[in-house]
Structure 1
Amino acid sequence: MGIESTYEIHQNAYIKLILHASKHKTSAVNGVLLGRISGDSAVVEIVESVPLFHSQIGVLPPLEIALIMLDNKKFETLSKEGKDRSPVMQLYTKDASRSWKLVGSDGSSRLKIKQPSANVILLDYISSGKWKDIIDFDDHLDDISKDWVNTELFN
């Protein structure tokens, strides 16, 4: 079997995921993680996240549209950029046998937050109601003027 990958998620990608889940507390949410493999190592850097849906009605056609639109976008955050690095989310990967596996379910901690201050900043964003500002692709389909990739969220 090959080398097991370790996953590092950048602060803004991590915060966006949690804010999306916080906005839609009673719904399952999903999105896309964008990243790269760092050099020759087995570290996958997750540098961007894009919130997609919070409803479960007819997801496939809008998902295809969202993925095509994402493929056409150029993300500047894909270029390179201590404390508690424990994420408050779970990452699942799909292996060659097509089954989903929780990353780190074997007891290892293979999902880390790249910037140690992410949970402190996340707490501040949640307590200040910043989660209300997150826009997903579902919201964009309701009003196409809404920025579903959230380019201004951290400005």
Structure 2
Amino acid sequence: MTNIKFSGKAYCKMILHAMKYPHCTVNGVLLAKTSSLGEKEVEFVDSMPLFHICVNLTPMAEIALMQIDELASKKGLTIAGYYIVPDNISRDNVFEKSYHRIAEKIASNCNKSYLVIVNSTNTTIHKGNVALKIAQLVDGNYKPCENPNISFGTSDTINACISLVENAAFKKLVDFDNHLDNVSLDWTNDVINKEIEYLL
């Protein structure tokens, strides 16, 4: 059994990214405490929304990953996961279709990386269901984690996420696509981070 822990910040920002662009496939990366990367455990402390226009590896993705890696290393964190929210969850809810070159790039730098598929349907979120499917890199391939033990930083994470969605906090979320359109927009999402911390 794999123990996977998500901070409220990591989980909520993935869901908010999905809610902001329900008609698009969106993706991003997950940052973990370097010290938490064991054989069968990981603690994701933040998520960084990347794209909603073109989710495959592009020169812009390379730039985003370099900037995120620099920020992460200053905080003792590692890019250890890739998340994707398919626009058609019933069709694309499998790891083979969700695997992108960004996940491959992350795997080349972190041999204990993870791939997360997020089911962001409104019913799933409002029922408070944990909407994640997770695979781990094993021998160079992503393999589904069997019966992963998914936990959260606090017991209020799900309720905080529902509250943020109901209050349309996703409108303030900035992904890297938004930042490329207007470089004054903060892709680190300091405003959202503070809102999440307040609710938790």
TM over 0.5: yes
Instruction: Give the TM-score normalised by structure 2.
Output: 0.63
Runs of 4+ in 1 over 6 A off after TM superposition: none
2:132 aligned counterpart, secondary structure: coil
Q: Is there any run of 5+ residues in structure 1 with no aligned partner, and where? A: 79-84
CA RMSD after TM alignment = 2.5
Aligned partner of 2:135 in structure 1 is 92
Map of 1:1-155 to 2, 5 A cutoff?
Answer: 5-36=2-33, 37-38=35-36, 42-56=40-54, 59-74=57-72, 76=75, 87-98=130-141, 100-103=142-145, 106=146, 108-155=147-194
Q: Percent identity?
A: 30
Instruction: Give the TM-score normalised by structure 1.
Output: 0.79
Partners in 1 of 2:171 and 2:9 — Cα distance? 16
Q: Is there any run of 5+ residues in structure 2 with no aligned partner, and where? A: 78-127, 195-200
Aligned partner of 1:81 in structure 2 is none
Of Structure 1 and Structure 2, the greater strand share is in 2
Partners in 1 of 2:59 and 2:53 — Cα distance? 13
**Are the counterparts in 2 of residues 47 and 77 from structure 1 also a CA contact under 8 Å?**
no
2:190 aligned counterpart, secondary structure: coil
Deviation of 1:140 (Å): 0.3
Partners in 2 of 1:110 and 1:57 — Cα distance? 28
**Are the counterparts in 1 of residues 25 and 55 from structure 2 also a CA contact under 8 Å?**
no
Of Structure 1 and Structure 2, the greater helix share is in 2
Aligned length: 142
